[in-house]
Structure 1
Amino acid sequence: MNRRWVSALLMMMLFVTVPGQVFGTGPDSTAEKGGKTQKQQGQAPVYQNVSVHDPSIVKDGDTYYVFGSHIEAARSKDLQSWSRFTNGYTTPGNVLYGDLAQNLAGSFAWAGQNDSDSKGGFSVWAPDVFWNPEYVNADGTKGAYMLYYCTSSTYIRSAIGFAVSPKIEGPYQYVDTLVYSGFTEGDAKDKDSVINKKWTNTNIPKLIDAGQLSGASGAWFNADGSFANGTYPNAIDPNLYYDKNGQLWMSYGSWSGGIFVLPVDPKTGKVKYPGKDGKTADGRLVDRYFGTKVAGGYGKSGEGPYVVFDKATGYYYLYMTYGWLGADGGYNMRVFRAKNPDGPYVDAQGLNAVLPGDTDNAPYGNKLMGNYLFARDVGDPGTGIGVGYVSPGHNSVLLDDATGKRFLVFHTRFPQMGEAHEVRVHQMYMNADGWPVVAPYRYAGETLSKVDRQDLIGEYKFINHGKGTTADIQSSVYIRLNKDNTISGDLTGTWKKTGHNEAELVIAGSVYKGVFASGWDPVSERYVMTFTASSREGVAVWGSRLENKTDQALVQDVYNDLSLGDTAKVVSDLTLPAEGARHTAISWKSSDEAVVSASGEVHRPAGGAPVQAVLTATITKGGASLTKSFTVTVLPYQDAKLSAYYGLDGSFADSQGRFAAGTVTGDRIDKSGGSITFAEGRQGQAAKFDGASGIRLPDGLISSNAYSVALWIKPEELTTYTTAFFGAKDGDHWVSLVPRGAVANNTMVWSGSTSWYDGATGLTIPAGEWSHLAFSVENGTLTVYVNGVQKFKGANFPDWFTGTKASFSLGVNWWDPPFKGLIDELRVYDGALTPAQAADLAKNPS
């Protein structure tokens, strides 16, 4: 399954978590802090989460709104509990657009409806909504809510349009399409499209006739007549903003040629095209149609521009997101600033947001936030792995005049949760140099106030966000802010508090400036002291203060929390933690290394009775020490029992007679048509797949959490994500045996997508040759064999099939290119194959 396509699917869906009370210290309670007690700030927050991708924030009266991609939107009174009021792409009767196809037909004529990448549906993305008191409506009245949106069919063929409404929750009526991209010099069409991309099919000819453009520009096209997207923008992600003089502007763009801005006539809502080409005083491109370039270029990542003018600093701030939006894409938020609405925008190093050439963009821009995890170690309060984000981005910003607070609003994915995403709101503060820094924890109603220096002294979990665009998660380390203003622990340096709450840290020669502020830690469920700061290099760092603990108390906490799970029926290696909270050491000894080693390696008997050993942990910190023992019972191997056998020798029948025969599908698991023939196989005949067909197997073929699948396969070609064997509870819970997968092109067992699991084998089977693939699942333990040799073994594999009537297939799923080649001798088992069984299947095809 293509992860990026999964991302797109999930963006179309709304994930709403169960509203819950986050329990913790209340307004009259106290918590140990700095050796004394201190009254905490506010009550425990109540959150209700929604999924709105690319959220754009707007406040209307006392209500906050976020509008996002795929026609999703939600409202809140406190920026903490959100409720959805839209119905996605439903049409007719769309909450925001009424009859969607009819209303936005002017934009869909170019992109976004049943066309190319939007084949079979719509692609309406990244809107921006605001109240415009100057807009002149069709009936002559003034004032309207303006909704600027984009439609898209490919990575460059897109359009930006706008619609208006007297009510913020709509419905909105289409007015015009303003900017087109991806057009060509001559007649041309994209794959799966009937739209002629020639530039004369945009609004450009009308603008030329009206005297608004001097003519078409030859620079828009490459030598072959295609759109010059390395220089010019992809017309998506519109953002409207006012300058300090009240002039309205629109920023827009994604990857391609970068981010551009155009002035907007507030009375008509239409952009003011420059009309002729030029250069800014600092040498940036001004295009007659697309406007002034303010960031990016050369096809580098960078999207979701959002510009705000901050009266307190006198700067315009340009926020944008680097990376790819998927969980594996390293999405991360950046900020630049300028004295003028159209730039030049620079970062804290003075680097221009417009790239100087085809270069890595990671060094450019102050990085606000990337992938991170305040890790919960053994012995820490709470449960789970901690709190953190994956691919946070496409943000908007609210400067709330009523409260004087600044808010960063964005969507994010989460560690170990796949492509599920939700809206998050964090408060922002300005540091001493006039750069925004982001609160480490989501907004809980906190207010920046004066802090006591004594309350700052102590241990912290520390995050350094770095400058890279990477899928790696930055995990917390430990530091201590000491009374003598030194920093010790995993990092060393100095710190100081200035003013009421300003923070300054010096670490490894870099100076970080920010603030100390209270925040709600959802893991420990209490308000804690935090700091957030940024360096001149544009690196953000965060700290979250820990309770004062003695070594004896920490050892006891680790002892109480240390667990190996269910050790009564062990079938796979155990993970033995070597360290607990605050570097508390954990060492292990085994009473019988032949059963389970001190490193957790499990040795299962080939047969007979279960065997036992005792693992003993010694927990040490300073002079404090405790031991804790675990009795481990290891189960012997038992042969898996064949439940279904599809020999594919001229038919799709199950020779065991337990299940119905397979049926031919089209290029998706649920499509009719297709053609499967037979050819010489590994044993007799094999099913021949043509790259456009598959075999639908009976529903419920597997219905437990102990099963095995084995088959012979001879790919004619290897395409990424293409499945050999596929099983799914639904589109979000699936297992796929993939000859060429997402991890370094490895042959692998892959599962998703509410959480990803990569069972990568470390190799890729060859095309044009027979290979035997098998995998077993035994109550959460996944084992993958290639040609009878174990190549992967891991724990915590998801159980998607128990108690379900799941769907199964060969060669196809719901998303990816179908398999092309031969498949033979499909066997499905109850229980896990023993290593001997797996080896025998690879040696003896019959």
Structure 2
Amino acid sequence: MGSNPRPRPVASPNAAPESANTPGPGADPGPWGAHDPAVIRARDGRYYMFSTDTEVAGSPGVGVQVRRSDDLMHWQWVGHAFDGVPASAERWSGAQGIWAPDVVERDGEYRMYYSASTFGSRRSCINLAVSGSLEGPWTDLGPVVRTRAEDPVNAIDAAVVRTAEGTDLMLYGSFFGGLRLLALDERGLPRRPGDLGVSVGRRTTAHNGPIEGSHMWYDAETGRYLLVCSFDSLFDTYNIRVARSEHPEGPFLDAAGRRLGSREGDVVDGGTKILGSLVTTAGETELAPGHSNHLVTPDGMLLVHHVRTGADPERHRAQLRRMALTSAGWPVVSPVEYDALPLLPLEGTDLDGPWQVWRMDAESTLPARPSVGAVRLGALLPTPAEQGGVRATLEVDGTAVDAVVWRTRASTAFAGLSGDEVVLGVRAE
């Protein structure tokens, strides 16, 4: 979510106007209006999405938006987790809505970490609430971390990280002061009350250093922690970056070996750009993808994020994409939105035909446009059974790409790295 001095999407600023794609008053909004989404799988196999309070058709009020789905495609409005902003969070922050919830299950209990703040303020808090059901009721247990105007970080955008040893950490922080990592105890509260944690990434090259919407997980295959975050403005230039480390505290390095973010004197930010604004093969602009989270499913891992409509950036919705690791251990995401279709085996001939190719220019804020590309299979590589997608080496317009290929009956797509640049492709049907 961040704490950008410009207006943020809380309550009414990003009300979705009615259109053929946006429900009218009283209608179920589906994924429309979901900002900073996080998805968790319930014990019964259904999926629940929790997101920031925004004003959308059919969902007045505040208290954390909740939706559910059986297939990760069709989302049904459930309501709000709370009846307003819980008292302790409202008193501290003055918040009129709740931002950026993250929900995990621990020992049969669901734990929600949510943020309360106001535009442009560091007087913020992350509170913990618990429930036996994802549809509530939720009991607010009060603050996990609080920040004041004079503190070096902002207490919003929480994401729980499970370490290789099985303990929990909380990644948080945003526009002011960058990202921090805080140790939690078995109750989900700070091991050391009042602790603000350790810095794991910040930016000095941009005004106030927008680096936010982060999450992290440990990958046992590579023995590394993979950190995903968003750079730049959520309104128009948001983009998603990755870096990795052998330790949860860092240092986090990108595919070029640069430290995530920047420090005083740096002129270039580290962080491999895996997804930014792009023009689809249908000619529509998907603008400012960001504030992501990850979801592990029986079909592989997914990246969950929000995206804006290029024709009307006030409109935003949740979007899911397949995500997997290349043979070199870098997370990449499909250029095709998740469609719930089963993945099919891959043969070399499945890559025949013209392709639409995008290149994620880390220095550009303009939407990437597809160009016709030539793709040739180099080799299929060993791929873990749980991966989702097939690892392969490709030759794209004459350059080698360490890629993951996803094939369904509807599409064949790839994402991979050529050096430290991410390349995406969809076979033209």
Candidates 271, 291, 296, aligned match of 1:394: 291
C-alpha contact 1:414 1:420 (8 A) present in aligned 2: yes
Q: Which whole-Å CA distance do the structure 1 matches of 2:334 and 2:18 have between them?
A: 24
Aligned residue number for residue 198 of structure 2? 292
Aligned residue number for residue 80 of structure 1? 73
Candidates 81, 96, 108, aligned match of 2:90: 108
Note if 1:301 corresponds to 2:210.
yes
Candidates 308, 327, 341, aligned match of 2:248: 341
C-alpha contact 2:10 2:99 (8 A) present in aligned 1: no
C-alpha contact 1:323 1:469 (8 A) present in aligned 2: no
C-alpha contact 2:179 2:199 (8 A) present in aligned 1: yes
C-alpha contact 1:64 1:77 (8 A) present in aligned 2: yes
Aligned residue number for residue 66 of structure 1? 49
Cα 1:148–1:16 change in 2 (3 A) is farther
Aligned residue number for residue 162 of structure 1? 128
Aligned residue number for residue 371 of structure 2? 477
Candidates 319, 324, 327, aligned match of 1:424: 319
C-alpha contact 1:395 1:408 (8 A) present in aligned 2: yes
- Alpha-carbon deviation of 1:81? 0.7
Kindly provide the amino acid, as one letter, of the partner of residue 260 in structure 1: R
**Residue correspondences, number:** 397
Cα 1:83–1:14 change in 2 (3 A) is farther
Q: Which has the higher helix share?
A: 1
Aligned residue number for residue 528 of structure 1? 411
Deviation per CA, 1:661-716: give whole Å up to 9, x if none.
Answer: xxxxxxxxxxxxxxxxxxxxxxxxxxxxxxxxxxxxxxxxxxxxxxxxxxxxxxxx
- Alpha-carbon deviation of 1:388? 4.2
Q: State which drifts further: 411-420 or 509-518.
A: 509-518
Aligned residue number for residue 110 of structure 2? 145
C-alpha contact 2:276 2:287 (8 A) present in aligned 1: yes
**Superposition RMSD in Å:** 2.8
Cα 1:339–1:66 change in 2 (3 A) is same
- Alpha-carbon deviation of 1:356? 2.7
Q: Which whole-Å CA distance do the structure 1 matches of 2:8 and 2:231 have between them?
A: 20
- Aligned-partner SS, 1:108: helix
Cα 1:14–1:66 change in 2 (3 A) is farther
- Aligned-partner SS, 1:455: helix
Kindly provide the amino acid, as one letter, of the partner of residue 50 in structure 2: F
The correspondence of residues 375-414 of structure 1 with structure 2, limited to 5 A, is 375-376=281-282, 386-400=283-297, 403-414=298-309
- Aligned-partner SS, 1:270: coil
- Alpha-carbon deviation of 1:260? 0.3
Q: Which whole-Å CA distance do the structure 1 matches of 2:337 and 2:34 have between them?
A: 16
Deviation per CA, 1:117-139: give whole Å up to 9, x if none.
Answer: xxxxx031001111221xxxxxx
Aligned residue number for residue 339 of structure 2? 444
Candidates 258, 274, 279, aligned match of 1:351: 258
Q: Which whole-Å CA distance do the structure 2 matches of 1:340 and 1:146 have between them?
A: 25
Kindly provide the amino acid, as one letter, of the partner of residue 249 in structure 1: L
Kindly provide the amino acid, as one letter, of the partner of residue 349 in structure 1: A
- Alpha-carbon deviation of 1:257? 1.4
Deviation per CA, 1:276-323: give whole Å up to 9, x if none.
Answer: xxxxxxxxxxxx831111111443111011111233333221111001
Cα 1:19–1:331 change in 2 (3 A) is closer
Candidates 343, 346, 356, aligned match of 1:461: 356
- Aligned-partner SS, 1:517: strand
Cα 1:318–1:10 change in 2 (3 A) is farther
Aligned residue number for residue 25 of structure 2? none
Q: Which whole-Å CA distance do the structure 1 matches of 2:262 and 2:399 have between them?
A: 25
Cα 1:67–1:244 change in 2 (3 A) is same
Q: Which whole-Å CA distance do the structure 1 matches of 2:109 and 2:394 have between them?
A: 47
5+ residue gaps, structure 1: 21-46, 87-94, 114-121, 134-142, 184-226, 276-287, 377-385, 486-494, 520-525, 548-846
Cα 1:375–1:72 change in 2 (3 A) is same
Q: Which whole-Å CA distance do the structure 2 matches of 1:307 and 1:516 have between them?
A: 23
Kindly indicate whether structure 1 or structure 2 has the higher relative contact order, using CA contacts under 8 Å at least 6 residues apart.
Answer: 2
Note if 1:245 corresponds to 2:127.
no
Kindly provide the amino acid, as one letter, of the partner of residue 83 in structure 1: Q
Cα 1:421–1:67 change in 2 (3 A) is same
Note if 1:260 corresponds to 2:154.
no
- Aligned-partner SS, 2:337: coil
- Alpha-carbon deviation of 1:333? 0.6
- Alpha-carbon deviation of 1:467? 0.6
Cα 1:9–1:158 change in 2 (3 A) is same
Cα 1:507–1:459 change in 2 (3 A) is closer
Deviation per CA, 1:218-241: give whole Å up to 9, x if none.
Answer: xxxxxxxxx26xxx2111001112
Q: Which whole-Å CA distance do the structure 2 matches of 1:514 and 1:443 have between them?
A: 18
Cα 1:508–1:449 change in 2 (3 A) is closer
Candidates 315, 320, 323, aligned match of 2:229: 320
Q: Which whole-Å CA distance do the structure 1 matches of 2:263 and 2:271 have between them?
A: 13
Q: Which whole-Å CA distance do the structure 1 matches of 2:220 and 2:378 have between them?
A: 28
- Alpha-carbon deviation of 1:14? 6.4
Candidates 389, 403, 417, aligned match of 1:514: 403
- Aligned-partner SS, 2:174: coil
C-alpha contact 2:97 2:116 (8 A) present in aligned 1: yes
C-alpha contact 1:55 1:394 (8 A) present in aligned 2: yes
The correspondence of residues 779-818 of structure 1 with structure 2, limited to 5 A, is none
Q: Which whole-Å CA distance do the structure 1 matches of 2:18 and 2:71 have between them?
A: 17
Aligned residue number for residue 428 of structure 2? 546
C-alpha contact 1:256 1:297 (8 A) present in aligned 2: no
TM (norm. structure 2) is: 0.84
Aligned residue number for residue 387 of structure 2? none
- Alpha-carbon deviation of 1:263? 0.8
Aligned residue number for residue 643 of structure 1? none
- Identical columns (%): 27
Q: Which has the higher strand share?
A: 2
C-alpha contact 1:127 1:238 (8 A) present in aligned 2: yes
Q: Which whole-Å CA distance do the structure 1 matches of 2:266 and 2:354 have between them?
A: 40
Q: Which whole-Å CA distance do the structure 1 matches of 2:314 and 2:396 have between them?
A: 35
Note if 1:97 corresponds to 2:97.
no
Cα 1:360–1:506 change in 2 (3 A) is farther
Q: Which whole-Å CA distance do the structure 2 matches of 1:300 and 1:249 have between them?
A: 23
The correspondence of residues 545-584 of structure 1 with structure 2, limited to 5 A, is 545-547=427-429
The correspondence of residues 742-761 of structure 1 with structure 2, limited to 5 A, is none
The correspondence of residues 806-845 of structure 1 with structure 2, limited to 5 A, is none
- Alpha-carbon deviation of 1:508? 8.2
Candidates 254, 261, 278, aligned match of 1:372: 278
- Alpha-carbon deviation of 1:365? 1.0
Q: Which whole-Å CA distance do the structure 1 matches of 2:411 and 2:425 have between them?
A: 10
Deviation per CA, 1:443-469: give whole Å up to 9, x if none.
Answer: 112444432212212211111121125
Note if 1:496 corresponds to 2:378.
yes
Candidates 123, 141, 165, aligned match of 1:175: 141
Aligned residue number for residue 136 of structure 1? none
Cα 1:509–1:477 change in 2 (3 A) is closer
C-alpha contact 1:457 1:480 (8 A) present in aligned 2: no
Cα 1:442–1:64 change in 2 (3 A) is same
- Alpha-carbon deviation of 1:507? 5.9
- Alpha-carbon deviation of 1:404? 4.8
Cα 1:144–1:416 change in 2 (3 A) is same
